[in-house]
Chain A
């Protein structure tokens, strides 16, 4: 059973950088899956942030691309998110998820529990 666990600061100052890590257990991050970050502002819907493959290939949401970096650490079986120049609009619950499938037949089948990140001074 694959499990994902997000970790990182729950409070980030405006204009700072949000940094989160997702630890994967019960499976290898080097398997044939992509790994994604999804966020949800309080009381709102879901927004896909971006994804990474174990090779280091990435895809990002165009609306966030200029501020987002997703990286992978195969030795630790984890992947990470950095979001720069944050504002209050970036306050959200951040989820990591396994992006399972192939080509276009893909879905988020395993999710972390989510971590609330608040942007405030």
Chain B
């Protein structure tokens, strides 16, 4: 199995802050890395696919970068609706695996 880790596990930030979340794979996964946002009681929502491609309809303040084993999700200016939990997920292996999540809450 490809193991995914995320850091930090949680963070507190203010509206307007720049936020960066890191995801690391236990082996190289090229650029086959996706990011999801999940709000309480809701299904996850795809934000970024293939490491850096913005899903249709997702605000441009979200961006992704990285390849190999290290990836980042950046929110350039945090908005009130962005307080949520963020998950990375690898699709390099058909045995898909998710990171443990990063909870972003209000400072």
Interface centre among A62, A111, A112, A114 (most CB of B within 10 A): A111
Q: How far is the CB of B2 from chain A (nearest CB, A)?
A: 12
B34 interfacial by beta-carbon distance below 8 Å = yes
A35 interfacial by beta-carbon distance below 8 Å = no
Report the bound CA distance from A87 to B3 in whole Å: 25
B91 interfacial by beta-carbon distance below 8 Å = yes
Chain B residues, Cβ within 8 Å of A47: 98
Main secondary structure of the interface of A (DSSP, over half): strand
Could you say which of A7-15, A23-31, A74-82, A98-106 contacts chain B?
Answer: A98-106
User: Does B98 contact A48, Cβ atoms closer than 8 Å?
Assistant: yes
**Interface Cβ pair total, 8 Å cutoff:** 64
User: Does B98 contact A46, Cβ atoms closer than 8 Å?
Assistant: yes
Q: Which of A48, A109, A112, A114 contacts B96 (CB 8 A)?
A: A48
A85 interfacial by beta-carbon distance below 8 Å = no
B87 interfacial by beta-carbon distance below 8 Å = yes
Chain B residues, Cβ within 8 Å of A46: 36, 38, 44, 87, 89, 98, 101
User: Does B94 contact A95, Cβ atoms closer than 8 Å?
Assistant: no
Report the bound CA distance from A48 to B99 in whole Å: 11
Q: How far is the CB of B52 from chain A (nearest CB, A)?
A: 12
User: Does B91 contact A104, Cβ atoms closer than 8 Å?
Assistant: yes
Chain B residues, Cβ within 8 Å of A106: 32, 91
B19 interfacial by beta-carbon distance below 8 Å = no
Report the bound CA distance from A16 to B75 in whole Å: 44
- Give me 11 other A-B pairs in contact (C-beta within 8 A), A46-B89, A48-B89, A61-B95 excluded: A36-B96, A48-B97, A51-B94, A59-B94, A97-B43, A104-B32, A105-B91, A108-B34, A108-B89, A109-B55, A113-B42
